[in-house]
Structures are given as C-alpha cells and as structure tokens.
Amino acid sequence: MATIKFIPPQMGAVDNYSVRALRSSPPRLLLKDLSVLLTVLPYLPLIFFPLNTKSKEPKLRGAAKFKSIGNDFTQALLGLLETVLMILFIPAIIALPGLVFFGVALLCILILRLIAWPTQGPRILYSADDPSISHTTDLHPHERWVFINGICTGSSGLQANIDRLSYLFGRQVLGIHNRSGGMLADLLECMIQRCLDYKTMDARVACEIVKEYLMDKRVEKLVLVAHSQGGIIASMVVDAMLTELPAQMIGKLEIYTFGSAASHFHDPPASSVDARSSAPFPAQTTTIPYIEHYANEYDMVPRWGVLYATCKLLTNRYAGNVFIRDKATGHMFVDHYLDPIFPITKRGNRKAVVKGKAGQASGSGDGNVLNGNGHLEEALSYLDAVVDVDDAIPLKRRNSTPPKPLVELRDQKDHGRLQNHQIPASTNGNARPNAHGMVDGFDAIGGDALMEQAARGKTVKELSRLWRYLGGNSPEEMQKQDSKDRAFGRTTSQGTRGA
C-alpha cells in the first residue's frame, strides 16, 4: 500500500504568515526562485517516469493519437532548441553588436513560436460528450467544473485531460488552455508569474471565467482543478477574486491542485474553530471551504512549488491540505497523478450512482467502483492508506518567528511599540477569545496542533473530499448516506463503524 505523507493546513494566527511578495523585492524573488529551481533540476528526468502506468482507460485512436504524438515531438524539439539557445546566449551577447543581437534574438523567438503554433488551439475547450456519463451530468445543473493545465501541454493534451476528469467524476469540464512555448519558456513564464505577479492571457481568461461563474446565481458550486503551472494561475485567480467579490460568492469555490508550481495560496479566515467538532477536521474556518494539494515527492515541479512553499518557507501563506505520495516520481497529470489516485482497472470500471426519489440507486457501466450506497467497492491503495502526519512541519510553524516588520510601528498615544498584530475578522471590531480559546477568524492558541491531532490515524479517504465526486457522486449525498449508515451501525464510506 502506498505511503502518503500529510501536511495539515495552516491554521495559526494570521500574523505568523505572509506571502513572499510582501516581504521581498521582485529581483530578490527572481534570484531566489532561480536558485531553488537549480537545486531541483536533478529531478528533471524523473518527471517522465514511470513511462507505463496500469491505467486501462480507453486508448487514444486516429486523429487524437496523431495529435498527441505530434505534441510530444514538438515539445521535445522546442526543449532541444531552447537548451541550445540558452547555452549560446552569453557568447552571443559578447560576440554580436547590440542591434544584431537584438535582431537575432527576435528571430529565434519567432521561430520558436512558429514551431509551437500547431499545438496551440482555442483558449477554451469542453470535455467531449460521453454516453457513459450522460445520465450523471444532468444531475448537477448547479455545479461548474473548470480545469487549468500545466507546462508542456498542447491543445490535444488539454482535451485528453478534461475528458479523463469528465469520465472519472461524471461532470462536464471546461478546460482553460495554458498555452506552452516549450519547457524552458514555460519555466521562465512560471518565474515571471510567481515573482512579478504578471497575469498572462491564460490567467486573465481564467479570472474572467471564474468570476462569471461565482457571480452567477444559478451556480452553487465551482470546482477548480489545476495541474503544474495551472496551480500558479489558480492562486492568481484566488487573489483576484478576494479583491473583487464578497466572501459569500467566493465560498462557492473548491480548489484541487496536482503537482502545483504555485508559491502561495491565500484563503482568509472566516470563522472560529470548534475543537469539539466530530468532523475529520475542526469546523471550517476559511473563506474557500475546500483546498487540497496532491504531489509526488520526487516530482521536480512541486518540489519547486507546493512542497518548497509548505516545507521550507514556514511563514509563507499556503492554504489547504497537502497529500504527498512518498518516493513517487512523475509529473504527467493523467499518468502520474490521476492513475495512481483514481485508477481505472478495466474498461468502464466506473459506475455512476444517483439517488432516486424512492431511495434506490441507479447507474450504468460494466464495472463497480461505486456500490448502491454510493460508496467505493474496490479498495484503492492511495485512498485507503493511513496518512503519515508530518508533525514536524506544524511544530516548526508554531516555533517559527513571525516575519520581521519592514518598519517599526508605534502607537500614536503612548509611542510604545505595538505588540498585538492579530487581525480580527469580526465586523464589530471587538475581537475577544471565545470559550474555546478562539478569536473570531483564527486560532489564538495553535490551530495547527488541532489539525495535526485530528488527522492522526485517518486515511486519505477520510481527509480528502475530491474522491467523493467519483462516478458522478456528490460529497453532500455521500455524507447523508454515511449518517444513515452510522445510525444503523453499518460501515461507512470512510471505513469507520457508526456508533
């Protein structure tokens, strides 16, 4: 069974955390990003391995297979040319006159763009109509699913990704194409996005779509899935929405990232923690109710992104649960993330389950991932693994020194140094600890400790939410069924026995 490390979400006082951009200048951030990237480069070859996975998903055929091969060839060619140009960059600056160097550089950029052009399709794609999930997609008219792809992904790759998501979760998925210019160009763009907060056209399109869905009164839930560089774009989208929309609208959002390259994730406090809660975690305390990050330990991109941001930058703001597959390699979205977490063991092995008016389950498909109660029948090693809670990270967070103030702020009345940096979330301005030692908006005594204790002995299935959407299911419906099972003493979908 797979070993899954789990890093609890940040729940400490708000003055303990801050994003890098508020503490350092852009040049310093760029230099730091470059230095960290160089340290993880030895993991670069591992992003392609393992080459063969156990997935039994329908194979690409005809034009789709041809496009996929064409995209792989184009990415390999771009990577080779960009590497050669990078090696020749310094000699060219020394040997060529200024205007000549400028002209040659423009010519090289133009050639690279022309090579990449065949892989770049529309900005927005939709998952293909699949008869096997048509009966489940109509059951969720108030949900919207959006996916943002990562580096080195062509239009055909994005189509394959959203089709796989649609097949797994029984929803129509809208894909936002984060266009690729080759691996080195994509990594450079990642650095610019992370350090300069530059919103590319893909990021601007994502902001517009997400905002439109969140403002739509017909939409009750928006699930945003992101891979690799798409995680950076998702974090930029969150930053934009937090400045433009009220918390009630943003509360519709759920975010799930895989191999994220993002350097931060905001999720402001919204309510108090109730330590008495019987939920897998204490009561929700943030504006965005659910954020989950999945990463492979030896994947270069998250080692530069989510893993570095959460494990090394202890005072950096990075919201959400982090699940790390121990000693796992690979960065491909389907082959190295979806396959190990949500494997398809045989063609069609995904049964969509819905609850009818009479309480009877119905569905179609020749396999049984979900049974009549809306629970997983087939044991999935990833989801059934008891997590190895990383208690060192929360401890380091609690013992870490808050970011040093950039200036010394003194009280205007007594001119003494301000001691209380706590920012209350209450609207009346009177923030006082409640009966559970909480101040509205954050944990006054150590929310990280509560999260750490709550996660011990639990499986990925008990801590994760995303899997509950499998086969067109709904987390809310499965929770209702779990409550019924516990009432009758049956085994629940989380693998626990009701009292």
Using pLDDT thresholds of 50, 70 and 90, give the confidence band for residue 380.
Answer: low
Using pLDDT thresholds of 50, 70 and 90, give the confidence band for residue 274.
Answer: very low
- More confidently predicted of 409 and 375: 409
- Distance of CA 368 to CAs 346, 349, 374, Å? 10, 6, 11
- More confidently predicted of 358 and 102: 102
Please choose, from the candidates 296, 286, 284, the residue with its C-alpha nearest in 3D space to the C-alpha of residue 323.
296
Please give the span between the terminal C-alpha atoms of the chain, in angstroms, as a whole number.
28
Let me know if 430 is exposed, middle or buried by CB neighbors in 10 A (0-12, 13-18, 19+). exposed
Instruction: Look at 201-205, 216-220, 344-348 and tell me which has the smallest mean pLDDT.
Output: 344-348
Cα 45 to chain center, whole Å?
23
Q: Which pLDDT score is estimated for 56?
A: 54
Q: Which pLDDT score is estimated for 432?
A: 37
- More confidently predicted of 184 and 406: 184
- Give the angle 15-23-208 at the CA atoms, nearest 5°: 90
Each residue's pLDDT tens digit, 37-53: 999 999 999 999 888 66
How far is it, in rounded angstroms, from Cα 267 to Cα 245?
A: 13
Q: Which pLDDT score is estimated for 411?
A: 57
Each residue's pLDDT tens digit, 401-443: 766 667 776 655 555 555 544 444 434 334 333 333 333 444 4
pLDDT beyond 70 at 62: no
Using pLDDT thresholds of 50, 70 and 90, give the confidence band for residue 311.
Answer: very high
Using pLDDT thresholds of 50, 70 and 90, give the confidence band for residue 55.
Answer: low
On the CB side of 137, CA atoms within 13 Å amount to 19
- More confidently predicted of 294 and 360: 294
pLDDT beyond 60 at 252: yes
Report whether 425 contacts 442 (CB < 8 A): yes
Q: Which pLDDT score is estimated for 397?
A: 79
How far is it, in rounded angstroms, from Cα 443 to Cα 227?
A: 31
pLDDT beyond 60 at 499: no
Instruction: Look at 69-78, 127-136, 162-171, 303-312 and tell me which has the smallest mean pLDDT.
Output: 127-136
Q: Which pLDDT score is estimated for 315?
A: 82
Amino acid at 407: V
* Both tokens assigned to 248: 């009630």
Using pLDDT thresholds of 50, 70 and 90, give the confidence band for residue 59.
Answer: low
Q: Which pLDDT score is estimated for 23?
A: 83
Each residue's pLDDT tens digit, 143-156: 999 999 999 999 99
pLDDT beyond 90 at 271: no
Indicate the pairing of strand 173-176 with strand 124-126.
antiparallel
Q: Which pLDDT score is estimated for 450?
A: 73
- Average pLDDT of the residues in 272-288: 57
Each residue's pLDDT tens digit, 441-495: 444 345 666 777 888 899 999 999 999 999 999 998 888 777 776 666 665 555 4
Q: Which pLDDT score is estimated for 146?
A: 98
Q: What's the 3-state SS for the chain?
A: CCCEEEECCCCCCHHHCCCHHHCCCHHHHHHHHHHHHHHHHHHHHHHHCCCCCCCCCCCCCHHHHHHHHHHHHHHHHHHHHHHHHHHHHHHHHHHCCHHHHHHHHHHHHHHHHHHHHHHCCCCEEECCCCHHHHHHHCCCCCEEEEEECCCCCCHHHHHHHHHHHHHHHCCCEEEECCCCCCHHHHHHHHHHHHHHCCCCHHHHHHHHHHHHHHHCCCCCEEEEEEECHHHHHHHHHHHHHHHHCCHHHHCCEEEEEECCCCCCECCCECCCCCCCCCCCCCCCCECCCEEEEEEECCCHHHHHCHHHHHHCCCCCCECCEEEEECCCCCCCHHHHHHHHHCCCCCCCCCCCCEECCCCCEECCCCCCCECCCCCECCCCHHHHCECEECCHHHHHHHHCCCCCCCCCCECCCCCCECCCCCCCCCCCCCCCCCCCCEECCEECCCHHHHHHHHHCCCEHHHHCCHHHHHHHCCHHHHHHHHHHHHHCCCECCCCCECC
Q: Which pLDDT score is estimated for 281?
A: 53
- Distance of CA 392 to CAs 329, 388, 395, Å? 23, 11, 5
- More confidently predicted of 137 and 341: 341
Using pLDDT thresholds of 50, 70 and 90, give the confidence band for residue 343.
Answer: confident
Average pLDDT, the chain: 80
Q: Which pLDDT score is estimated for 136?
A: 76
pLDDT beyond 80 at 249: yes
- More confidently predicted of 115 and 439: 115
Q: Which pLDDT score is estimated for 10?
A: 82
Q: Which pLDDT score is estimated for 479?
A: 80
